[in-house]
Amino acid sequence: MIRLTKQFLLDDPQYTDPQNARVLILPVAYEGGVSYGKGTGSAPQAVLDASHFLEFYDEVLDIEPYKIGISTCAPPELPKEPEQVCETIFHHISNLLDQNKFVVLVGGDHSITTGYIKAVAQRERQFSVIQFDAHSDLRPQYEDNLYSHAAVMSRVREYTQHTLQLGIRSMCVEEAQRIKKENLDVFTMHQIRRGNFNLHRALKKLPDPVYITFDVDAFDWSVIQSTGTPEPGGFLWDEVINMLQIIFETKTVIGFDLVELSYSPHDNNSPFAVAKLLYKMLGFKFLKELRNVNVFR
């Protein structure tokens, strides 16, 4: 039984009823895995609040994505132990996937991704993960915490070897050595800015289906100002949207998360950008179905 909370975008039960909705959003207010700035725990609510100021219509895609049905679940109550947090998220996501829903996880810090990936790994013999992030997150663990947000891609790679990491501009020397030794597909901002990255070529190497884990610190500060571990020099809005459009057109995306937004009472822009990113991604995902729905009806 899904308990309702404040809904993403609108409160019209015709489009937010959990039984009929194709998309379920799971807000997870967790910041147990952060290392620097606080505030990721309040971020999901800020995204839901900001989403009510979005336009329903996508003027680029010429569709109204909400008509696919988007329902927002109540945030799960979380235990204290990081491993138990992962298990709790795993069970929640599994339950939602069993209902044949497309599930979006909104964080919360990046450590929550592992629970979702575990649920995907139980259902897919083979799958890929694309990470947008300033940080490579490839430490084996961080401060004795296997489930730290700084180690999340190490956990992910225990479930799949097919990963693509984009926008990276911060790592320790051990991570750099590992990337070289294991020949990981990690593309730094520096490489991308030098033109040493071809998305189509990178996507060809990734078997379907694809999961996207999106740490919003991948963005430049002009897009996302409020994030726990900020790094200068990130992606601009249109760059990300263009890449995501190509990914959704080329690959079968089975789920995604948006993590590491940090709530600040002085910044309405960042949660709004995350809300819009979420809505854009749903538009890309359900474009074909939504094209058959007349928006001018």
Residue 92 CB, nearest approach to Mn ion (Å): 23
Residue 61 CB, nearest approach to Mn ion (Å): 28
Binding of residue 175 to Mn ion (CB under 5 A): no
Q: For residue 15, what are the contacts with CB-CB under 8 A and spacing of at least 6?
A: 21, 66, 67, 69, 70
Question: Phi and psi of 87, rounded to 5°?
Answer: -65, -40
Residue 229 CB, nearest approach to Mn ion (Å): 6
Q: Which of residues 185-244 bind Mn ion (CB under 5 A)?
A: 215, 217
Q: Ramachandran region of residue 263, left (φ > 0), alpha (ψ -120 to 50) or beta?
A: beta
Q: Which is closer to Mn ion, CB of 101 or CB of 135?
A: 135
Give me the sheet containing 210-215, strands edge to edge: 70-72, 23-28, 102-107, 253-259, 210-215, 128-132, 163-168, 186-188
Q: Which is closer to Mn ion, CB of 118 or CB of 169?
A: 169
Query: Which tokens is 107 given?
Result: 């964080």
Residue 150 CB, nearest approach to Mn ion (Å): 8
Q: Which is closer to Mn ion, CB of 23 or CB of 151?
A: 151
Q: Which is closer to Mn ion, CB of 219 or CB of 286?
A: 219
Q: Which is closer to Mn ion, CB of 58 or CB of 217?
A: 217
Alpha helix segments (H runs only) across 140-236: 152-156, 173-181, 189-193, 199-204
Q: For residue 53, what are the contacts with CB-CB under 8 A and spacing of at least 6?
A: 272, 275
In the shown chain, the binding pattern of residues 34 to 73 toward Mn ion, with x for contact by CB under 5 A and - for none, equals ----------------------------------------
Integer Cα distance of 248 and 281 in angstroms = 8
Query: Which tokens is 127 given?
Result: 């799958």
Q: Which of residues 99-158 bind Mn ion (CB under 5 A)?
A: 133-135
Note the residues at the interface with Mn ion (CB under 5 A).
Answer: 133-135, 215, 217
